[in-house]
Amino acid sequence: MQITFLGTSSGVPTRSRNVSSVALRLPQRAELWLFDCGEGTQHQIIRSELKISQLSRIFITHMHGDHIFGLMGLLATCGLAGNVERIDIYGPPGLNDYIQAASRYSYTHFSYPIKVHAIRPGIIYEDDDFTVSCGNLHHRITAFGYRVAEKDRSGRFDIEKAKALQIPPGRVYGQLKRGETVTLADGRVIDGTQLCGPTEIGRKIAYCTDTIYCDGAVELAHDADVLIHEATFAHQDADMAFQRLHSTTTMAAQTALAAGAHRLIMSHFSPRYAPGNTLELKDLLQEARAIFPRTDMAYDFMIHEVPRRREVELTKVGV
């Protein structure tokens, strides 16, 4: 699971930061999932190592322009040069009307299937490997946060132990790898869990923007390996944050702390904290780390590999 930040500015783009979009690359499936699609997102994808042809799902948090103005351009490009097979789009009520109206007035015809899903809190997508759920955030308009949860997997199968027990190879190995209990032809009952290592805990990613501090974000980020959370304002500008229902750095950090998240990556920064101003982004990072030390600050084209829990544990013990 690889996260690429395609846009990390709030409201308007700057010279170094585009508006909101985050890509989740799933190499084992050759799939690309996108979260929000601000203006210019397709240009950011082209500049990155991501492949538009792998785009299969787009998740929109809310209908403000800096999160959706790049959607129609990207969808049109996918039809003209993207070679995508199908795209499923998830978002709040009104998203389908927006896409239909934009395609009608621009005479855009999609040469591939598009399905728009109007979401409500709960599980919105599930397959053999992942569950995606959404929950309400607290913003000026209807806004949702997302949680991507990889399903737990049985531990590594000890094939040498299976051979030592004289278990004949074949379909039974697959059953044992899944941790199932099987009865062999000779009458022996074998518990697959005894031949597998510790369960591999599935990775979890939460994406919460735009919102002020709220219980919904804490719930989505529970035990998340990575929480991506907006931090539009510095702590000293909390009054503006409350007026506009955006988060400060300290609110993002408090969300990560309350949720028991393993890492916080802040994004969606106001251009007011550009270099040379009284407060700069490095000051915002210090504010958040004072509350939640495992905090990073996203920048455009930043890539974050989400490690498995087992890999993290081995790193800690120096293996």
What is 184-226 written as a DSSP string? -TTS-EEEGGGGB-S-BPPPEEEEE-S--S-HHHHHHTTT-SE
Nearest CA among 232, 205, 225, 277 for reference residue 20: 232
d(CA 72, CA 68): 8
d(CA 198, CA 87): 36
d(CA 138, CA 241): 12
In this structure, are residues 312 and 203 in contact, taking their beta carbons and an 8 Å threshold?
no
d(CA 228, CA 8): 11
Q: Which residues, other chains included, contact 188 with Cβ-Cβ below 8 Å and sequence gap of 6+?
A: none
Q: Is 139 annotated as a binding residue?
A: yes
Tokens of 159: 């094939």
Q: Is 129 annotated as a binding residue?
A: no
Paired with 33 in beta bridges are 24, 57
User: Residue 145 — φ and ψ, nearest 5°?
Assistant: -105, 160
Active site residue 127: no
Find the catalytic residue in 66, 225, 237, 300.
66
Q: Is 304 annotated as a binding residue?
A: no
Q: Is 67 annotated as a binding residue?
A: yes
Q: Is 246 annotated as a binding residue?
A: no
d(CA 125, CA 226): 20
CA atoms within 13 A on the CB side of 14: 16
Give 91-129 as a 3 state SS string: ECCCHHHHHHHHHHHCCCCCCCCEEEEECCCEEEEECCC
Please report, in range form, the residues annotated as the binding site for Zn(2+). Answer: 62, 64, 66-67, 139, 210, 268
Q: Which residues are catalytic?
A: 66
User: What residues are designated binding site?
Assistant: 62, 64, 66-67, 139, 210, 268
